[in-house]
Amino acid sequence: MAQYSAVLDGVFVALADPTRRAVIRRLGRGPASVGDLASEAPMTLPSFMKHVRVLESNGLIRTTKSGRVRTCELNQEQLARLVEK
């Protein structure tokens, strides 16, 4: 139970930031490249990448790289944990 609680704590910390919530909201419409996601955020790409890493390290998103393009998509299984009974 404590391990499960630690996972949820990380998820809620990741979702506490408005930039990361905006990324999750955008990815709800489908996968997007980091460049596309970053263009909607009022910060530099390196700063934005920190948000991507937090979301990825807490299992909320997955990223794949093809050539020079990194694409993000929601991890539906991790999000489903938020609504489990």
Domain boundaries, the chain: 2-83
Domain 2-83: give its CATH code: 1.10.10.10
The pLDDT value given to residue 1: 46
Q: What is the pTM of this model?
A: 0.86
For the sheet with 61-66, list strands across it.
32-33, 69-74, 61-66
At 56, the amino acid letter reads E
Contact predicate 74/61, CB 8 Å: yes
For residue 51, the tally of other CB atoms under 10 A from its CB is 19
The pLDDT tens digits of the residues spanning 29-76 come to: 999 999 999 999 999 999 999 999 999 999 999 999 999 999 999 998
At 31, phi and psi to the nearest 5? Answer: -60, 155
What is the secondary structure of 45-71 as a DSSP string? HHHHHHHHHHHHHTTSEEEEEETTEEE
Question: How far apart are the C-alpha atoms of 32 and 5, rounded to whole Å?
Answer: 30
Residues 44-56 pLDDT 10s = 999 999 999 999 9
